[in-house]
Structure 1
Amino acid sequence: MTLEELTAEVARLSGELTAVNSNKDKLVKEKRDALTRAEAAEAAIETANSATLSDLDKANKRAVDAEKALTAEKERADKLETTRRNERADTLILKALNGANVDAKHTPILSKALRGDVQFNDDGEPLIDGKSVDDFAKTYFGNKGEGHGYVRAPDNGGGAATGHDGTKAPRMTKDNFNFTEFAKIQLKNPAEANAIADAVGRPNLKTSV
């Protein structure tokens, strides 16, 4: 091979080497770019996962807060219902004692005793021994009842003769008191009128009989 041919061959090989090196740099750059894109994609996935977890945590917190609020509201409603039931029971007991003509001096003790025996039905109505408070009082404080001794004694010895001996519940209570009817009763039956006056808390209306 002549010198010219050798020189040409060296030039050709040098050109090929330059091309190879150029391709190598290009491949390295492409590899580096691909790695950068992969790292960016991985970071984006982690960010998305983090955001998803954050949203889930927020949703869970809202659910927990809502459940707590619902529980608190139920407890408040239960307390209000309990208060309403107790107040109704107390009112009905006092009304029943008054209607049964129970002596006022026994009312505080009897109210507490009866209150301890109260049970409520599904409708929230107070019962004693399975009866309404009023029905129980009528039986218990009636002539043959165990609590008859708590009933007010006759206003006077002539009470029985006038048709009211102090053991019967007066026809009129605070709830249905009427002056016109009271005046009629007072004319016909002063003893009963006096019992009514006591029952409705108006002792000033009593008269001598």
Structure 2
Amino acid sequence: MSTENENTEANSELTTLRKHNADLTKDLKALRASIQQLEADKETAKEEAENASADEVTRLKNQLAKSAKDLEAATKRADDASKSLITYKSETELNKIMIANKVQSEDAPMVMAYLKSIMSVDTDGTVSLDEQPVEMFAKSYFAGAGKRYVAAPDNSGGGAAGNDGTKPSKITQPPVSPSDWNTFDGLPDAERNALAENWGRPDLRV
């Protein structure tokens, strides 16, 4: 599959994720509004119960119990929707930087695993990588240690190649030679562990 086709598919996936994010955000707002209404209903029932007859108190207590139950269920749905929204927002961010930096399809699972291992999300859903803004980290990483996973520009007519006519080096299998080990040992711990996980070699983790 060509890089152009891969980018088209990736952009399509990113559009789908963004739409899902928008839907989840809309649902979450509706749930929060429902929670506010339920809380108001609960308080109203409580106040009315304090000034009612015995029979009315029983009815209002039942109403109060139902409001409390409905509130609990709505709160749980809101929490679940919030978690789903954060998940999709973080996946959208990671997909976006991988597309922007033209990560090769065969390396995408490993790169995604590495990025998730250093990802954090605050209460507002803002994603950080290694305690840095996503764009800042991506710019540094894909120009340095992650450069081996980026598709080289096809500007020579003979396949993607670097300025010296060679393809960027990258680790595709467990290290064997001393040179392999030097390269592997020079990787950030999180990236090394992601590779080890991808190869099924827990003994290579640090």
Answer with 1 or 2: which has the greater Rg.
1
Query: Which has the higher relative contact order, 1 or 2, with Cα contacts under 8 A spaced 6 or more apart?
Result: 2
- TM normalised by structure 2 equals 0.46
- TM normalised by structure 1 equals 0.45
